[in-house]
């Protein structure tokens, strides 16, 4: 399939970037993932707003307007090999002689975009839920930037794989942060709790969406610091991401969450999520 690289559509195998690209050398870049259902982008505005925030956060200037990004996403979806698809966008600072500081004269940023088939979460995950283990969050303190420097997240996900579970739940100084590539939600006494949207987590595009779904379902919602004890004593745990949508977590460190089955609040949010997709 064709990918977009610096203004051109080329075959994936022909898309080449210099070894001096600062994305390769330093992880000096950002990315975004926009999900689409039936070739229609889901919450594209929020995704593109976050893309622009990430670029601004690391000082990359590009002459791409919001309309240009939208057009790129829509062009990719026309080319997608499946109706449900993920549009991946990556921008790095560009190619320059290796030096940590930003190049005095800003290079042309490298802009890459590809589209891949999106396999929605399987019935088993939705109905039986996921297993997790806890681990300390040892990542840096700018987790709010959707950076391609993902080594901390890669090692966290590998920790889950080696523990034989689906995902990790990370804690920073005894408080919930997030998963390796998803946000984590706690349900206690009928209220949905999400960690504070600060520099310690990436605010998923599903963060605001879960808040909306909860309110629409009449479920109280609160953003605040959540202790490890509260996570361990949760009635329900859930995770969200573009690829996982919303899924129930039924075990943590080998112990059941609540009664060990997907809970009623999950069921309501899941129903709202499916309804929003169907209404696209």
DSSP β-ladder status, 110-117 and 191-194: unpaired
28 vs 137 by CB, closer to ligand PMP: 137
Q: How far apart are CA 280 and CA 272, in angstroms?
A: 13
Q: Does residue number 91 form part of the binding site for ligand PMP (CB under 6 A)?
A: no
Q: Angle 125-151-111 (CA atoms, 0-180°, nearest 5)?
A: 90
Identify the active-site residue in 16, 97, 119, 146. Answer: 146
Q: Look up residue 172 and give its two tokens.
A: 């920073």
42 vs 94 by CB, closer to ligand PMP: 42
131 vs 241 by CB, closer to ligand PMP: 241
Is the distance from CB of 222 to CB of 193 less than 8 angstroms? yes
Look at residues 172, 155, 159 and name the one whose alpha carbon lies nearest to residue 132.
159
Per CB under 6 A, the segment of 55-63, 64-72, 166-174, 177-185 that binds ligand PMP is: 177-185
Task: Return the residues of window 232-271 that contact ligand PMP according to CB under 6 A.
Answer: 240-242
Q: Does residue number 41 form part of the binding site for ligand PMP (CB under 6 A)?
A: no
Q: Does residue number 54 form part of the binding site for ligand PMP (CB under 6 A)?
A: no
Q: How far apart are CA 249 and CA 97, in angstroms?
A: 46
Element spanning 193, H or E: strand 191-194
Least gap, CB of 181 to ligand PMP (angstroms): 4
Q: Does residue number 177 form part of the binding site for ligand PMP (CB under 6 A)?
A: no
54 vs 240 by CB, closer to ligand PMP: 240
Question: What is the number of the residue whose Cβ is closest to ligand PMP?
Answer: 204
111 vs 242 by CB, closer to ligand PMP: 242
**Partners of 85 in the beta sheet?**
36, 117
Q: How far apart are CA 124 and CA 218, in angstroms?
A: 27
Per the annotation, the verdict on 146 as an active-site residue is yes
Residue located via tokens 């998963």: 179
Task: Return the residues of window 147-176 that contact ligand PMP according to CB under 6 A.
Answer: 153
Q: How far apart are CA 47 and CA 69, in angstroms?
A: 10
Least gap, CB of 116 to ligand PMP (angstroms): 14
Contacts with ligand PMP by CB under 6 A: the residue count is: 12
Task: Return the residues of window 189-208 that contact ligand PMP according to CB under 6 A.
Answer: 202, 204-206
Name the 3-class secondary structure at 280. Answer: coil
Cα 259 from chain centre: 28
Least gap, CB of 166 to ligand PMP (angstroms): 14
Q: Look up residue 90 and give its two tokens.
A: 């990556």
Q: Does residue number 181 form part of the binding site for ligand PMP (CB under 6 A)?
A: yes
Torsion of CA 215, 217, 218, 222, to 10 degrees: -40
Binding stretches for ligand PMP (CB under 6 A): 153, 178, 181-183, 202, 204-206, 240-242
Active site residues: 146
């Amino acid at each position: 399939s064709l990918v977009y690289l610096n203004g051109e559509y080329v075959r994936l195998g022909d898309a080449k970037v210099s070894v001096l690209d600062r994305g390769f050398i330093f992880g000096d870049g950002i990315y975004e993932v926009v999900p689409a259902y039936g070739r229609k982008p889901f919450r594209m505005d929020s995704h593109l707003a976050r893309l622009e925030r990430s670029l601004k956060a690391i000082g990359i200037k590009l002459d791409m307007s919001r309309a240009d990004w939208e057009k790129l996403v829509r062009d990719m979806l026309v080319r997608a090999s499946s109706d449900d698809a993920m549009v991946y966008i990556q921008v790095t600072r560009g190619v320059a002689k290796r030096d940590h500081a930003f190049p005095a004269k800003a290079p042309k940023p490298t802009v890459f975009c590809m589209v891949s088939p999106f396999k929605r979460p399987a019935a088993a995950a939705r109905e039986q839920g996921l297993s997790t283990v806890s681990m300390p969050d040892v990542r840096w303190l700018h987790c709010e930037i959707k950076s391609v420097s993902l080594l901390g997240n890669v090692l966290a996900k590998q920790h889950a794989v080696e523990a034989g579970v689906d995902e990790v739940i990370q804690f920073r100084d005894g408080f919930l942060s997030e998963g390796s590539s998803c946000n984590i939600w706690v349900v206690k006494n009928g209220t949905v709790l999400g960690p504070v949207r600060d520099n310690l987590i990436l605010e998923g595009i599903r963060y605001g969406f879960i808040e909306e779904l909860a309110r629409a379902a009449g479920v109280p919602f609160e953003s605040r610091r959540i202790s490890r004890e509260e996570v361990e004593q949760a009635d329900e745990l859930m995770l969200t991401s573009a690829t996982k949508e919303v899924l129930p977590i039924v075990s943590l460190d080998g112990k059941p969450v609540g009664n060990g089955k997907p809970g009623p609040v999950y069921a309501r949010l899941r129903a709202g999520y499916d309804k929003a997709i169907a209404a696209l």
